[in-house]
Structures are given as C-alpha cells and as structure tokens.
Amino acid sequence: MKRVGSPFRRYLQVHFLLAALLPILLLFTAVGVAPSRGHADAETLKHLRNTFVIVGFVVAAFIAVSWIFFYRLRKRLVRLQEAMAVSSEGSGLPKPVSVRTDRLDEIGRLEASFNRMIRQLEDSRRREQEEESLRRRLIANLSHDLRTPLTAIRGHAARLRKEPLSPEGRGSLEAMDLTITHAGDLIDDLLSYTLLTSGKYPYRPEPTDLVRLVRSAAAAWYPAFESAGFRIEAELPEESGLVWEVDPQWMRRVLDNLFQNIHRHARDGRYIGIAVNVEREELAIEDNGPGLGGPSEDRGAGIGLSIALYMLKEMKLQALFESGENGTTVRIIKI
Amino acid sequence: MKTRKVLYIEDDREIGSWVQEELEQRGYAVTWLLTGDGAEREVPGHDVVILDIMLPGLDGFTVGQRLKKAAPSVPIMLLSARTAVEDKLQGLQFADDYVTKPFHPDELAARVEVLLRRSGAAMPERLKLGQHILVDLADQTVLDERSGEEVVLTGKQFQILMYFLRHPNRILTKEQIYEAVWGEPYLDGDKALMVHIRHLREKLEQDPGAPEIIETIRGIGYRIRR
C-alpha cells in the first residue's frame, strides 16, 4: 500500500520550522535595530513595528495552520465514528467508509482497517447464517424423516392390538404407543428449541388478556386431566383486568408445556390447581405430584420445560418453582 | 345414517393402508390416492379430505388449494410430518385442520368427526339430551319427551344450543361461545351469555339448580356431553 505523508509529521515539521524561524527572525530584527542607535527614533520605531508585524503574521499563520489541521483531522475522525455507530439495514453491522487511495495516512489506514474488519464480520455473519439455515433444514428434515416411520410403527402397533395377545403383549404395545408419542413430542421440542434459540421462532407480542388465555388452555386440557382422574380446581376471575404484553401463541405454548408436564409426571398426585391472582399479577399452577426431582416413568431431558422457561424469559416473565415431595407450584410473574 | 366418504391422499403405502383400514373399520368409505393427480375429479363425491403434504409431484399445499377451489364445502385435513409453524400457517390458509404425525388413530377419527360435524355431514337428525330432551336438527325443534310438547327457544338460545351440539364433550369458555354466537368480541363483564344459559337451563333441565345437560366447569366454561 502506498503511504503518503503523515498529517502529524507535517504538523510537526511546520512546528519545527516555526520554532526555528521565530528566534532567527527575532535575532535578525534585533541586529537590524542595534546599529541604528545613532539614527533617528522614527527609524527604530519603524523597525520595531516591522518586527511586530512579521511576528504577528507568523503567529497568525501558525494558528490558522493549526486550526485547519485540527478541523480536517476532526472531520475525518467524526466521519469514521459515525460510520462505526450507524448499522446498515438488516445486517446490524456498520457500513464501510470510503477511503481515498491518495490519502493513506494514519487515519486513511485506520479507515482501511475498519473496512477490512467490516468485510470480515460480514463474511462471518454470512457463514453463520448459512450454517444456521443448514442446521434448521437438517433438523426440520430429520423431524420429518423420523416422524414418518414413527407413524408407520404406530400403524403396525395398532394392527397388532387387534390380534389376540397375552397381557404382557398388550402391555408392551401400550408402552410402545406411549414411547411413540413421547418420541414425537421430543422431536417437536427439539425443533422448537432450535428455532427458539436461533431467534427464528416468530415472536409477536401484543396486549393479551391473561385470564382468557389461561381459561382457554385449561378448557383444552380439562378432558385429558379429567380422564386421568385429576381433581381440577380453576380459580380464574370472571372479569379479567390482567393484560400482559406477551405473544399469545408463546404463552399458550408455555401453558401447554406446563400442563403436559403435570399430566405426565404428576399423575400420582391427581390434582391440578390453576389460579390467576389479578392483584398480585400472578399465575399459579399447582400439582400434588412427586416434585421436580421425583421419580417419573417417562422423565425426559426436560426440553419442554427448557422451552417454557426460555419463552418466559423472552417475554420478560419469570417462573418461580416451589417443589417438594408433596407437589410443585409454579408461579409466573413479571420480571 | 349414510356412510361418510373420505378422500385420503398419502404416498406412504404403510401409513396409507393402515389409515384406510382404521377409517373403514370406523364406518367410513375411504378412497385412497397415492398422489394428488386426479384428486380434483374425485373430491365432489366426498365428505372430507385427508391430505399428506409431502407428495410426489404436486405437493399437498398445491393439491389442497386446488381441491378447495373444486369443492369449497368439503373440509380438508392436512396430515403431515412437517411441524414447523410456517408449514401449519401455510396449510391452514385453506385447510380446516392440521394433524402432525405420528398421530393416534383415535385422534384422527375424532378430528374427522369434528370436521364432518362442522360441515353438517356428521350430525344425526335427532339427538337425545339428558333423560327427556329430544333435538330434531332437521326441523330445528326441541321436544320435551315427558310432556310431548315442543320447548320454545329464542333465536339466541337455539344458536347457543346448536353451538354446544357442534362441539360435544368439549369445554367451551364463555368468550368462545359468545364470540361464535354473537359474532363480536366478548367484553369483560357482559352477562348476556350467562342470562341466556340460565334461561336455556330453565327450559331444558329437570332441575335448573343441578343441571345435567349443560354442565358448568367452574372457572373455565360449559359442556354438553353426548
């Protein structure tokens, strides 16, 4: 890269010249004034005046050069600072700045380095997006490719169920059916978690009537809890008055995951309590199961709960768990 | 009741033969196609369509849109291993339901029933509620079998009853019923629905204080069992 004179160096040169010229100038002026002792006073005054004019001119020139230097320097630095601060549309990265090839001084080289860094970041971002897209496609395809054979297995199991079987055989078929359901849920959770953590799960917050949303979710889950022998208590006020700025789809997913956890892991307790406290701005879901650390026939990796917690955090909500041997209560509140 | 006809489009032979078998055992007449080719010609004679998305040739989205154009009144259920929200949203632009694999045969049959009920193809002509109420859907009349007299319902009461009958065994929230019957958003504090349900109970129930037909699920909603 061609290097041109540094503005600092030029500035220092000007300073050196002025610093060297000023004493010489003053010396010549003094010599010019001294022999004139016998001349008229007017001649001396003329010399002095000329001296002051010259010194004044040099000082003024020095100030002007300094001002121009700092003005141009500041202008270029501000331009670079603005370019660093403003991100271009979509990418979130600053736009490159234009660099004059005939001005590759320190600031010019800084601008070139900045542009190089932006290009590297853009490349890195593009590679990351490509990898993310590939990962999403892979998981979506994997999800599809796993679900299809699972359906076929369920079909065969359903056919077998219609054949005369021993009690052990029937038990195995039921276990197989349950495992297929859980495997399907796990695949779905894995896909959702991948989309969520990569920021690709559509999030559309809006003012949402919490009581109405909870009532609707409870109504959908009621038959499932009822057929599993749960006692269901819903303390949901007739009139709501509690509106949260959340994505209703996300909130519904959170509730579905929490209800599903209770339906699966807290069956022994046979109790679910759902309550919205408008004054405390709190949603509480309670069960009498063996607690979060308790044994369960089909405990998985807890990805469903991880999804719920992640979504709550994104919606600026918090889940507080109180869990013991006699049950679990989860309270959802605003952060 | 006449046999309900299902048009089923699925390219996977294992799944296809199983679903066909399950539905036929439940009394449906199933026409199973391996691709969407020719589905538009078949659809007019059917009551419901079950459609896979990943099909050879034209995909399920395209086939479904064409079927909807050919027979707008026939409900379509998408049955797919694709679970992404985008797929569901795209599918539900024309389809009436979206079921993901691996589905349970009972769930599939229940959802087919719901679609048929919504479209009116599965509603029996007469329904018995509780011990003494007979609803004649063809004549749109409600009869008290104890006295043999017709129970006169107002327009809104009949609409509410019909909404319950279209969603039997489901818990319906007050907001859901109100918005379906009145056709406008429910506003907090509106007692109109509760008043109508109270009057409906007075006309239908043996003891309105201990209702047997319209069940109250405390804090959640109402249900009619069938």
In this prediction, residue A8 has a pLDDT band, given cuts at 50, 70 and 90, of low
pLDDT at A37: 55
Instruction: Name the residue facing A159 among B18, B175, B221 (closest C-beta).
Output: B18
A307 and A223 assigned to the same domain: yes
User: Could A151 and B15 be called an inter-chain contact, meaning their C-beta atoms sit closer than 8 Å?
Assistant: yes
A252 and A316 assigned to the same domain: yes
B-chain residues near A236 (CB < 8 A): 219-220
- Inform me whether the pLDDT recorded for B199 exceeds 50: yes
Burial A12-37 (b: 16+ CB within 10 A, else e): eeeeeeeeeeeeeeeeebeeebeeee
Q: Which tokens belong to A281?
A: 């701005």
Q: Is A198 on the interface with B (CB under 8 A)?
A: no
A219 and A114 assigned to the same domain: no
pLDDT digits (tens, 9 = 90+) for A236-268: 988 777 899 999 989 998 999 899 889 888 888
Instruction: Name the residue facing B172 among A195, A219, A235 (closest C-beta).
Output: A219
Helix then strand count (H, E) for chain B reads 8, 11
Report the pLDDT averaged over residues B180-185: 89
A141 and A250 assigned to the same domain: no
Q: Residue type for A324, please?
A: G
- Inform me whether the pLDDT recorded for B203 exceeds 50: yes
β-strands B48-52, B29-33 pairing = unpaired
Is residue A1 one of the residues assigned to a domain? no
A299 and A256 assigned to the same domain: yes
pLDDT at A192: 79
End-to-end CA distance of chain B: 17
Domain that includes residue A161, residue range = 134-197
From A123, A150, A181, the end of a domain falls on A123
A193 and A235 assigned to the same domain: no
Number of CB pairs, chain A paired with chain B, less than 8 A apart: 105
Q: Which position has the higher pLDDT, B59 or B121?
A: B59
A67 CB burial (10 A radius; 0-12, 13-18, 19+): exposed
From A123, A147, A169, the end of a domain falls on A123
Q: Is B191 on the interface with A (CB under 8 A)?
A: no
Report the pLDDT averaged over residues A53-77: 84
From A145, A175, A197, the end of a domain falls on A197
**∠ at Cα A328 (A327, A332), nearest 5°?**
160
CA distance B159 to B177: 10
Q: Is B225 on the interface with A (CB under 8 A)?
A: no
A170 and A270 assigned to the same domain: no
Is residue A91 one of the residues assigned to a domain? yes
- Inform me whether the pLDDT recorded for A33 exceeds 60: no
- Inform me whether the pLDDT recorded for A313 exceeds 60: yes
Give the chain A residue nearest B225 (alpha carbons).
A223
A230 and A304 assigned to the same domain: yes
Report the pLDDT averaged over residues A178-195: 81
A223 and A270 assigned to the same domain: yes
A126 CB burial (10 A radius; 0-12, 13-18, 19+): exposed
Domains of chain B from N-terminus onward: 5-119 (3.40.50.2300), 126-224 (1.10.10.10)
Is residue A238 one of the residues assigned to a domain? yes
pLDDT at B123: 63
CA-based nearest residue to B100, from A190, A275, A181: A181
User: Could A155 and B19 be called an inter-chain contact, meaning their C-beta atoms sit closer than 8 Å?
Assistant: yes
A92 and A115 assigned to the same domain: yes
Total domain count, chain A: 3
Q: Is B170 on the interface with A (CB under 8 A)?
A: yes
pLDDT at A297: 52
Mean pLDDT of chain B: 88
pLDDT digits (tens, 9 = 90+) for B35-78: 988 888 888 889 999 999 888 888 889 999 999 988 888 999 99
Instruction: Name the residue facing B83 among A188, A201, A223 (closest C-beta).
Output: A188
- Inform me whether the pLDDT recorded for A60 exceeds 90: no
The CATH number for A311's domain is 3.30.565.10
Is residue A211 one of the residues assigned to a domain? yes
Is residue A128 one of the residues assigned to a domain? no
User: Could A223 and B169 be called an inter-chain contact, meaning their C-beta atoms sit closer than 8 Å?
Assistant: yes
Contact criterion met (CB below 8 Å) for A305 and A266: no
A92 and A142 assigned to the same domain: no
Q: Is A207 on the interface with B (CB under 8 A)?
A: no
A33 and A112 assigned to the same domain: yes
- Inform me whether the pLDDT recorded for B173 exceeds 90: yes
pLDDT at A1: 46
Is residue A129 one of the residues assigned to a domain? no
Is residue A82 one of the residues assigned to a domain? yes
- Inform me whether the pLDDT recorded for A50 exceeds 70: yes
